[in-house]
Structure 1
Amino acid sequence: MIVQPALALRILSFVIAILVFWFISTRKRGDKKQIVEAFISNLTTWVLFFIGVKVITKWEILLDHPLAVLAYPSGTLEFYIASLLTMLWLIRKSSSSRSFLYEHVQLVAYSLFIFAFMSVIVLGEQGLFHLLFPFLFSILITLVRAPLVMIICVSLISGMAGLVGQTPEIMGYRMDGWFYFGIAGIAALLFFNEKRRGRL
């Protein structure tokens, strides 16, 4: 099974993002260890959902070439479903498991920027817009400690970008505008729920 360049860059992006976070975070070493472990656990959950959905949507290939289905290019459908299932899974988890939300959003933002940057260098992707979205997201989430607010703002801007042009990519996947509006809506519901409970 041949590993696609984009897949290798995604894995490398997360690894570098974790290293960057580890060195710039002011958290205690023990806290950083818990944050990274929880992030990897959540990421693994998404990957397992993604693979599961991919097996279902590509079942014809699975019957003939079981291992090839993992290397077969995936569309946004698998991404959408895996993301939805992961969000539902995380929402169901205890509030203590969401205590690292800010740091996890940071890690996602850094991963997106690193992937976009390496895509330009390694894969020859073109366009400043390709880098602008993850760069601004990384800067904003670093400066403003309000992860849900940042998710709402960035998602709304990304969705509106799709109304006039192209929506930003997420690690090589071109999302539809409604996906970003959906993310903004879910983040808004979580924000008001947390505020109602006095956690914000």
Structure 2
Amino acid sequence: MYTISDLYDLDHTLAADYLKGFTYPWEALKGIKDMILEIGAGLGDDYTEVKEHVWVHKTATVFESAYLGAPCIIGPNTEVRHGAFIRGSALVGADCVVGNSVELKNVILFDHVQTPHYNYVGDSILGYYSHMGAGSITSNVKSDKKLVVVHNGTEHIETGVKKFGAMLGDYVEVGCNAVCNPGTVIGRHSNVYPTSCVRGVVPENSIYKNSGEVIHKEER
């Protein structure tokens, strides 16, 4: 329930070929920068390299107050709004929203992803049509600075990485002011309640209310 094939439809990202080389999504985090540089060099005339290693599709809208750090790719019909801070190593797909005061760093956003208001997304992959409510964030470093472990019940998966925010599957909805702690994996079509503190693996088609209450949607 936490492999790339479990979480993502790869038809909706320029990173498809890159991601096919891995089993687990967190394995792809270390190479995002190099992947963007490789893809960017091969983009066609529909993209403009607005500064070195920053490619923006001609149909995208980028507010003057937004900052685009290299390397990054901004896809078709995507809107990067006032005060957005893209620190770099960000692949943003088609029809996305990167909103007011949002910060992105070392991320892959599939097509139709929305991070519209005051979100921090770092060292994370957000699947097709996933959405982060206002103020929700991915916490990407443990307080003790140790390597991140993915917890799934009694199973504990060593990732070997220090920085790992969240892996959101396709159509995931994260409520306002929720925190996805390091190593969070949320399955497709799942919802997270507002103000939740999420850890570990949330199965697909679930509603995460709190750490002791995760229900399947069929049970409602």
Same fold (TM over 0.5): no
- TM-score, normalised to structure 2, is 0.23
- TM-score, normalised to structure 1, is 0.24
- Bigger CA radius of gyration: 1
Kindly indicate whether structure 1 or structure 2 has the higher relative contact order, using CA contacts under 8 Å at least 6 residues apart. Answer: 1
The structure that is strand-richer by fraction is 2
The structure that is helix-richer by fraction is 1
